[in-house]
Each structure stands twice: as structure tokens, then as C-alpha cells.
Amino acid sequence: MMTDRARIGVIGMAVMGQNLARNIASRNIGVAVYNRTTEKMTSFVEEHGDEGPIIGAETIEELLDVVERPRTLLLMITAGAGTDAVIDDLTGRLDDGDIIIDGGNAHFEDTRRRERDLADRGLRFLGAGISGGEEGALHGPSIMPGGTAEAYGEVGDLLETIAAQVDGTPCCTYLGPDGAGHYTKMVHNGIEYADMQLIAESYDLLRHGAGLSTDELADVFAEWNSGDLESFLIDITADILGTQDPRTGEPMVDVILDEASQKGTGRWTAQLALELGVPSTAITEAVYARVVSSRKAERRDASSILSGPTPGGGIACDGLVDDVRAALYAAKIIAYAQGFEQLAAASAEYGWDLDLGDIATIWRGGCIIRAKFLDRIKQAFDADADLDNLLLADYFRDGVAEGQAAWRRVVGAAVDHGIAVPALTSALSYYDGVRRERLPANLIQAQRDYFGAHTYRRTDDDGSYHLRWIADGGEEPRD
């Protein structure tokens, strides 16, 4: 379709950039596209130019010429130094009030810095996490924008139009200033890591612990997807488990190397959780599990040296499938509770005033962690916007209470049979930790005071004290 003006320019024609441009054009919104290697842009326009009002730009000047003022430019390039280079190149050529949207997985501190620097130059910046992979980008992703509020006022309608819609509500809303959008996307990815690890542990238990075939497992996951666990990740897992290798006819999962990669967003979530003092244990264990998986050569050597039970299909199958389902569900609640707690802590730390109910709302569709129970999370925050921990909401409290006996059996069976289930186990330990009024930290305080005079507080009196543990056993008050 011919057009000579564009509402928005997309810079970067890798698959996410291409599919977002097609998504925009499919709504009859003019979109100009540019890629550093021109060939990629021209072949895109040849292939998809008739899908809507798309203009190919061979140079940045051409792009800036055809985009309506104030210009809106969406960067869809690999996060990192490349983003700074493109922004630097753009800034000298842009006019006051133009808007740059970074749709990559940027670190939120980079987004904060970029928003500040661009504001100094009269430009407006949005850091917008975009989730949903290739299909989401094409048909409707979940979009998590943060940055200059009045810039959102101008482009929000466009972003909300191209986003996934659930019950008529767009999976996109303004989240807060500077890095709020990219932080939210990062925690989304952290939860994605935990969710994937919990599913992988469940698969491991049933496949290698209980000896179910991949075909049986495909049916189990498909059935789980019709209940509380209904979600994109459970759905694709059923599909993956039912897929055969086109070369050998073996189950596809059996021929895929057991080394997981990572690009960094899960690790950032864990690092930042530590800095905030939030126990995002399920996410962190999922990151470590990927690290252990990536040490294939070491594991191969160690497998014949280190002793212990070897998973060999010996876990009794009776009731195990239901137990694993309950354990997976309970642990998933913990992972989300921890992720939302981290968002609340980051919001307080950076002054973002994040609305956790809004975040649950825009995660209901389009994104990788979309799941039926996000409706419940939204309801929990609607009922109490200051909810300290999702676990304290009736629905989730009851969900974990119902599943916990099965969860304990599953963790016990995994330990007995030598199957590593770090996410299932750490989530259970977190649960047992937060629900106990008294933990063994009294002993830790005593040790700290013993070797370093770090002081302790008493259960029966106010103030801080030091005990002269070795000298005469006397106690002295300390400030």
C-alpha cells in the first residue's frame, strides 16, 4: 500500500522489528522502516510491503524525513552498546519533542541514564519492555513502557492498539518514570526463568524419576493446561514433548543438548533482588540451574566420580502426576509472589509508584508468562493495593495450603532419588521460612556477637547487647 508519511519509524529489522512493523501496518498505521544493512530492509519491504502502509528508508535521513512530527522512533536493536550508538547518531538530527522508544531488553539503569541525557537535549524517551517473542510481536505483544509520562500520552494509543487485548483491555499501560518499564520487563523475564525451571524439574521427575514416556508427558501437560496451570509455557511444553526429531524420529527433547543459555535478564533480576534485600529465591535458583546445566563437560566427568542415587524410573507413579501438578502450582505461586515483592521494593526504592495490579493485567496476554492465574493476581492487588506478599491473599494462601502436602512428598521423592529440583525446593524452604515466627537466626546473631561483638537483641528486653562470651559471661548494653 502506498503512503508517503508514517506515524512511526522502526529502526532495526531483525525478526522482532519486522514483526512489530507488520503489526503496526496491519492496523493501517503508517510505518517507516530502516535497517543498517539496507538489504534486510529492502527484502522486508518486498516481502511484506503490501500488508499495509509501509515505507522503506535507505538512510536515517530518509526515515526522519517521512515520519510525522513530533517524530516517534522505535528502536528494535540488540540491547547494549549498540543502543547508545544509534541514540548518539540520532540525537543530532532530531527536533525538540521527538520521542525515542527503546523496545529492547535494556538494563533499567541504562534506561534511566538515557532518559536523563535525552531530556537534557529536549528529547523524550520511553524504555518499553516488549514480550511475546516473534508471534507476540506480530499479533499483539505485552508492552511495558516507562519513561517520560507526557511522551506516553502521545504514543500510548498506538502502543495499546498493537498490544495483545484480553477482555477488551490492552496488555500495555504506562508504568512509571525512567526505568520502570524495563525493570518490570526484567522481572517478567526473571519469573519466566523460574516458571521454565519449575516446569523442567516437573518433567525431569516424571520422565526420569517415574519413567513416563514423552508421549505420556505430552498428554499430562495438555491436561494440566486445562486447569489452574493453564498458561502459554505449559501449553508449549505439551507441544514440545509431543514432537519428534525430523532426522531420527526420536522424541525431540531427547536429542536436544541439556545446556541452557541465557542472555542476562534473569541474572540481573537475581542480582538486583540481592541488592534490594528481596528473597527472589526461585528466580535465582533458576539462574543457577542454567549455570550448572551449561557445565556439561564437568558434569560428564563428575557423573562417574560422585556417588548418590541415580534416577532410574524408580519413583512410584501412583498419584505422582497429581502430586507434581500440585507442587508445580504451589511453587509457581511462590515465584510470582517473590517477583511481585521485588517490583514493590524497586518501586519504593526508585519512586516509581508501580501499580502491581496494572502489571498483572498487562501480563495476562501477549507475553511469555501469560497465565490464567494472573487474573487472580490482579484481583488480589485490586482488593488490596498494598498487599505485602501475594501469599497472604486468600486465593493464593489457600492454593498453597491445599498443595503443600503433595509438594513436600514430591521434594522428598526427588531428594531420595537423586533428582535436583532447586526451584521446587528453594520455593518450599522460602515458604517454610516466611511462615515461621521463630527461625534459627538467634544462633547466627550469637555467633556474630561471639566472634565480632556485633551485638544481639533480646526476646525479653529492648536495646542491643554484647555478651563477654569468653571472658566472664557478663552482658553489657551497647548503643
Taking the complex as a whole, the smallest distance from the CB of residue 133 to ligand 6PG amounts, in Å, to 5
Cα 86 to Cα 103: distance, rounded to the nearest angstrom:
13
* 294 part of the interface to ligand 6PG, by CB under 6 A: no
Q: Does the annotation mark 437 as catalytic?
A: no
C-beta closer to ligand 6PG: residue 225 or 265: 265
Cβ-contact 430, 279 below 8 angstroms: yes
Taking the complex as a whole, the smallest distance from the CB of residue 335 to ligand 6PG amounts, in Å, to 15
Taking the complex as a whole, the smallest distance from the CB of residue 313 to ligand 6PG amounts, in Å, to 30
C-beta closer to ligand 6PG: residue 25 or 367: 367
* 131 part of the interface to ligand 6PG, by CB under 6 A: yes
- The grid coordinates of residue 139 equal 499479533
Residue 211: left if φ>0, alpha if ψ -120 to 50, beta else—which one?
left
How does 191-220 read in b/e, with b if 16+ C-beta sit within 10 Å?
bbbbbbbbbbbbbbbbbbbbebebebbbeb
Name which of 461, 468, 466 is nearest 479 in CA terms: 466
Cross-strand bridge partners of residue 10: 33, 74
* 367 part of the interface to ligand 6PG, by CB under 6 A: yes
C-beta closer to ligand 6PG: residue 192 or 201: 192
Identified catalytic residue from 115, 192, 201, 285: 192
Give the x-and-dash track for 245-284 against ligand 6PG (CB under 6 A).
Answer: ----------------xxx-xx------------------
* 192 part of the interface to ligand 6PG, by CB under 6 A: yes
Query: At CA 83, angle to CA 82 and CA 85, rounded to 5?
Result: 65
Residue from the set 35, 72, 83, 105 that interacts with ligand 6PG by CB under 6 A: 105
**Residue list 132-151, contact with ligand 6PG (CB under 6 A):** 132-133
User: Taking the CA atoms of the chain, what radius of gyration do you get in angstroms?
Assistant: 26
Cα 387 to Cα 366: distance, rounded to the nearest angstrom:
26
Q: Does the annotation mark 349 as catalytic?
A: no
Question: CB burial class (10 A; 0-12, 13-18, 19+) of residue 82?
Answer: middle
Taking the complex as a whole, the smallest distance from the CB of residue 163 to ligand 6PG amounts, in Å, to 13
Number of residues that bind ligand 6PG (CB under 6 A): 13
C-beta closer to ligand 6PG: residue 105 or 281: 105
Name which of 31, 110, 44 is nearest 78 in CA terms: 110
Contacts of 223 (CB under 8 A, 6+ apart): none
- The grid coordinates of residue 36 equal 543498517
* 184 part of the interface to ligand 6PG, by CB under 6 A: no
* 347 part of the interface to ligand 6PG, by CB under 6 A: no
Taking the complex as a whole, the smallest distance from the CB of residue 2 to ligand 6PG amounts, in Å, to 33
User: Phi first, then psi: what are they for 84, rounded to 5°?
Assistant: -65, -40
Identified catalytic residue from 51, 58, 115, 185: 185
C-beta closer to ligand 6PG: residue 72 or 105: 105
* 189 part of the interface to ligand 6PG, by CB under 6 A: yes
Cis peptide before 145 (omega within 30 of 0): no
Residue from the set 64, 321, 368, 371 that interacts with ligand 6PG by CB under 6 A: 368
Taking the complex as a whole, the smallest distance from the CB of residue 263 to ligand 6PG amounts, in Å, to 4
Instruction: Give the residue numbers annotated as catalytic, written as ranges.
Output: 185, 192
Question: Which residues of this chain interact with ligand 6PG, rule CB under 6 A?
Answer: 105, 131-133, 189, 192, 261-263, 265-266, 367-368
